[in-house]
Every structure is written in structure tokens, then in C-alpha cells.
A and B are shown apart, each in its own frame.
Chain A
């Protein structure tokens, strides 16, 4: 069972940021459960967790970071997309910087990994904050210019992706589900 976590303040945003991910999960043959960022969730019930993104103006989820700190003890696999990536970076002690990026940009892989092995690819970005550097808890896996846009949490199967793989790179989500 896959846990999908919505970071959307408004349900209408879930149509845009959660439903497309849910469809990929279903089409890959997995069942899923949806929980929301403000709910306290027992993560250990689930094998894999995908924390989905939200609207550009939506930062409400950042007020509920404490709900996600339990992930530090979680032994399963996590994929954080955009807002979800920010959550992973923050709970591991990283800071976000303001850097607006909207549209399709070229991503360069730093290191082959289970989610993607393509050396370069296009990806759809939709964010205001980003990571230009990460601390020693995270391993950068791909860059978009100076932005760390794909990382892995060291010694965990936790991945953060700052772009929206559901748009142009659904293989990243499919490969995560196969982990």
C-alpha cells in the first residue's frame, strides 16, 4: 500500500498535484491511501510514501513540519515531490532559498541512481523556493544549473525531487514504486 500525502491547502489543488500522481500509482498496479499534511499519520503502516507538491502560493504545509519529523525514524521509502522535497530537506536541517522557476528546464544527472539513469533530461519546474546547496545528510543526484533538483537522504531510501516528475518524467515515479 502506497501512502500519498497531500500538501495542498485547497482541495482544488489536489486535482492538479495529487490526482496525476495517484493515477500513475494506480496504472503501475498499486493501491494507495491519501492523507493530508495537517493530519498526524502513522507512517510505519506503509511501505512507500509519496509526498506530493502544491500550488506556487501555497506554503501552509510548512507550518506542519512537525507532522513529518516522524519520518526521521521511518524505515520505508519516501519520494518527496516539490513541496515534499522541501519537507525532506527541511527535516534534515537544510535551508531553502528563494528562486522562482516555472516551466521546462534541462536537468543534468550527477550520479546514476535507481530513479533515473538518463544523463540529461527535460523536467517541468513549478516552485518559488529551492536548494542551492545541501548539508552532509543529503546526497545531490541531479542539478538544474545551480539548483540541487534531485537528492537522496544518505543511509535511507528517501528521495527529493524539486520538479514535477508526473508531468514529463513519470518513469521517476514508476522506478520509485519498483524500489
Chain B
């Protein structure tokens, strides 16, 4: 089966991609670019860099601008998946949804309406186990946004390693360890399917402790 992966560039969509690639041919990535951070359904930060990741993966990227409101976001999702189906002949969609029934049920409905299979390989996974899988699989993932106590600005740019996973486990009463509620966002610089890794050349940190974003100004692909 040919599938597309709903891709934000963060750790979850990349892990879902890795799992999907073991069984199916991944024909393309699809990404929605929200007009602002207010989007209900999709991750915002670092989405501009997704094109660089798609090049590292040697996969085509199907993009669509998504309005902020719920209905507009759903319509954009429908358009982008219809495009992937038409251009690349995909029969299924893979997402990185973990626990949000709100997110998962909307993906399921749109996929059904378009005649597409829907796969959520991280669904109900233990968040810390998924993070450990990411680390042990050789992903290089950095924090690009923190949004809530006790996530300090100094976390931005830090690579998620075993110590970070332990830290997220210790603070799980404040923060969902997977960040699925928007408590933090991540960006994948390297993972097993990348043919080249991403190097950040210039960046800026905006905001204060518990509400800060790492804005990548310049990045490039380099040999692994």
C-alpha cells in the first residue's frame, strides 16, 4: 500500500513515519501550515523547515495553508489529503496522534470521507516509552518551543536524550511528557531515514521562561 504521512517535522510524525516505512511505501509527506499559533489541530513552530526534512528524506512534500478556525482547518486537511491521493495515488494516511480523541476522530472522519485508510501507530502509546524509542532509534530531536511551567527557555535547542526523558518523566504532573497538548514542540534534525542531517546555522530565541520559541533563521543539509 502507498501511504502519505501527516508530517509536522516534530518527533511524533517522524516516529510514525519510521514505523510506517517498515510496512508500506511512503509516497509523500503532507503538511498543513497554520496561519497562526492558534491552530487547534496542527503544530506550528518550525514548519517552514519541513521542506528541508523532505529533501533529507527524498520524499515529495504536499503543502496546504490552513486557516485558524476548526472548520477551515478541516477543509484544508481534506484538500491536502485529496491532493496526495490524486497526485501520488496514496491509499492510506499515517499520523502521529497519541492520545487526543479530538485530533484522532477528525483525522479518521476525513480519511473515511476520502476513501483512505487511517493509521495511528503511536496511538495510546506510553509517552515516556515513545520518547525512549525515539532516543534509542538514533533520532536527533531538539526543543523548538516551550509553553508552560516548568519548561524553561534554556531547554530550547537542547537535544532530547535519556536525561531529558527522565526529566520529562519527573515533571509529568505538570506537563504531558509527549507535549501533545502543546506544552512543547520539537524539530527533528536527524533520524534513520534521513539521507543527510540538518545543521542549524543561525537561530534566535524569543520569549521568556515557560513561553518561548526557537526561530531557526538559517539551516542546511550536511552529510551524516
Contact = CB atoms under 8 A, between A and B. Distances in A.
Interface of A: 10-13, 15-16, 19-20, 23, 55-58, 100, 102-104, 124, 126, 128, 166-168
Interface of B: 1, 19-20, 23-24, 94, 101, 105, 108-109, 111-112, 115-126
Given A55-B117, A57-B117, A16 B123 contact: yes
Contact of B101 (A20, A100, A124): A124
Given A12-B23, A12-B119, A56 B101 contact: no
The residue among B24, B117, B124 with the most chain A CB atoms within 10 A of its own CB is B124
B123 A20 contact: yes
A56 B116 CA distance: 10
Contact of A102 (B109, B119, B126): B109
A60 to B, nearest CB: 12
Contacts of A16: 119-121, 123-124
Given A56-B108, A56-B118, A23 B1 contact: no
Contacts of B122: 15
Contacts of A10: 1, 23, 117, 119
B129 to A, nearest CB: 9
Nearest to B109: A102
A15 B123 contact: yes
Contact of A55 (B101, B118, B124, B126): B118
Contacts of B121: 12, 15-16
6 tightest A-B contacts by CB? A20-B124, A103-B105, A15-B121, A16-B123, A12-B119, A16-B120
Nearest to B119: A12
B109 A12 contact: no
B19 A126 contact: no
A156 B109 CA distance: 35
A100 to B, nearest CB: 7
A15 B19 contact: yes
B71 to A, nearest CB: 16
